[in-house]
A and B are shown apart, each in its own frame.
Chain A
Amino acid sequence: MTTPFAIKAYPEMWEGLDMDVARFDKARQMLGTAYEKMYLSQSNRPQAMAYFDDLMAEIFGRRIEELLAVKKEGRPVVGTFCVYIPEEIVVAAGGVCVGLCGGSPGSIPDAEKILPRNICPMVKSAYGFKAGKICPYFQAVDFVYGETTCDAKKKTWELLDRLVPTYVMEIPQMKKGRDKTLWLEEIGDFKAKVEEVCGTTVTADNLAKAIVVINDKRRALQRLTKVRGSNPAPISGKDALLIEQMAFYDEPVRFARQLNELCDELEERVRSTTGVMPASAPRIMVSGTPMALPNWKVHNLVETAGAVIVNEESCIGTRYFKDLIDESRTNLDQQLEALTDRYMQIDCSCFTPNNERVDQVLKEYRASNAQGILHYSLQFCHTYNIEEIKIREACEKEGIPYLSIETDYSPEDVGQLQTRIEAFLEQIRG
């Protein structure tokens, strides 16, 4: 990089979105600095990361312009917070889906003016972005479609609805036949809402196309995951996490194309055994709660200590793309059923029982050729925190080196985490 990295400013557009421009502009600069320090300082980065660097530079600019252009055509932008909301339906109706999960400590004080302090930082961060008017994505969405997964989220939607129209999808807590029936009905409601706002109808034809578009995006992400299983790792965990985060913002067709281009390069690297780090670097798999943009805290600590992260078993990670929708169905009812089947495979800890997740973690551990599992739980996320016990037991049984951390977005525990992570790596190195 010859010119210093900066995230581009679009003050007039932000003004038009009724943002707190002065404050947001400071956050923009800080994010740019953090990105430069954590990302651009990495050595041996793949060339094709240039696209994602550019996407980052334009994260508050060109991508927002694109969303505004979509809105101008009368197509809605829908904000979501969970991988259970079927974006295929939004795409079929001609809309755009964006993930709004918050990963920054900067918006938490805004949230804590209203919300209790002892809830998950992801929920607080997201709510704070809206309350403080410091996220252009939040300002751009026509409506939010939340869900009843964890308590923190479902009760926050009631308050968020005062700031932006918020609908809620009921997600069952179990996976019995009647739960599936309920959820299929919820999908019907969701479809109706999206159709109403889009002024279009979801047909077998446009849904089939949308399913392929989103499947293609998921396939590209699967390809990335697969190539990370090689040693030496062809791409850093930080870069891979960034891509998984951007999967929730970028235009899906373009994103898949660019990611496939990157994967071509990575596969070439594997053939020539070129890595971002030496083959001796300990390989760590992360499992647990999602890390929303720009939450790079743990990846940065682990990789600064000389290890490489090779997999994220998380919703911003494999849980988002491990399953595809059957593309062979041709009538709408069958398609919706196939869609439901696919979504019901998501193994989030909000479900009980959720033993599939334990198996999935072990499967991904082997596929990624990892040497240890780092379980990551956001503070006050009860479901993941409790389910952690089962993951730990499974790792003990399998003799897999294991470290569990519970943290939030604040920097105050970085020293302590660094010690724990380095000790974990010492343990793996032997």
Chain B
Amino acid sequence: MFIGIDLGSRTVKVAAMRDGRLVDHQIVESGFDPQRQALEMLRRYEPVRVVATGYGRHLAQHQFAQEVITEIKAHALGARHHFPECRTIIDIGGQDSKVIALDANGRVSSFQMNDKCAAGTGRFLEIMAATLGYKLAEFGPAALASTAEVNINSMCTVFAESEVISLKNRGIPASDIARAVHRSVINRLAVMLNRLGHGDTIAFTGGVAKNPGIVAMLQEQLDQHVRLLTPALPDIVGALGAAIHAGRS
């Protein structure tokens, strides 16, 4: 069995592969001790090889992983597993967002990542949902329920939060503000996409790909012929890529 483990900022993800097929996966909150959490999650397998990725990858290598690869490479491998023709990947996780360009063979040719701050990430959406009183699962649908053109200008989470509060105080409906929050994430993404250029098939991975608001509004923003594809389990694509790498090396 080949195991990929993605030690992210918010969750630990595991993908287990046998004969080139995903046979098991887990997603668990990182908690205070992600290393212990990870070991716990690995207990049920008899791995041939473990490859780690994500922020905690180097710590993992000291303890239980044979090799590490970056999230960038892991997502490239994982996304191509689902969509062999894709040349562009959008990944929005808890703490960062990135756009990855691949060459015809699926190798990373360049990439863009968000700067230091959390703006445009899953964390940003979570904070804004909480400020507006939505559960995370309701947030995307709420945005889609609105057609209003309200704008949030600040890219900084802290300032954006105060903008949201002042919009609320002005009596703007919560769903309109939800739409504005989603729009701001997409605008930020569009900057990265434009800088890098993109192909006709874009894979969308990471936890935020489960947000129907982001998916639909992003598709709207793209040219008609561009296909935005979301895999079945978007949050484990990094772990899946690590497992694929484990099988190859």
Contacts and interface: CB of A to CB of B under 8 A. Distances in A.
Interface string A408-426: 0000110110011011001
Contacts of A422: 70
Interface string B205-236: 00000000000000000000000000000000
B21 interface: no
Given A415-B55, A419-B72, A426 B96 contact: no
Contacts of B108: 423, 426-427
B167 interface: no
B72 A412 contact: no
A423 B241 CA distance: 14
Nearest to A422: B70
A423 B70 contact: yes
B70 A426 contact: yes
B109 A427 contact: yes
Contact of B116 (A402, A413, A423, A430): A413
Nearest to A425: B70
Interface residues of B, number: 15
Contact of B111 (A413, A416, A423, A430): A423
A112 B249 CA distance: 50
Nearest to A410: B116
A147 B73 CA distance: 45
Given A426-B108, A427-B107, A416 B70 contact: no
Interface in A385-430: 402, 406, 412-413, 415-416, 419-420, 422-423, 426-427, 430
B142 interface: no
A96 B107 CA distance: 53
A420 B116 CA distance: 12
Contacts of A430: 107
Contacts of A427: 107-110
Contacts of A423: 70-73, 108, 111
A412 B109 CA distance: 27
A430 B109 CA distance: 10
A426 B102 CA distance: 13
A119 B116 CA distance: 17
Interface of A: 402, 406, 412-413, 415-416, 419-420, 422-423, 426-427, 430
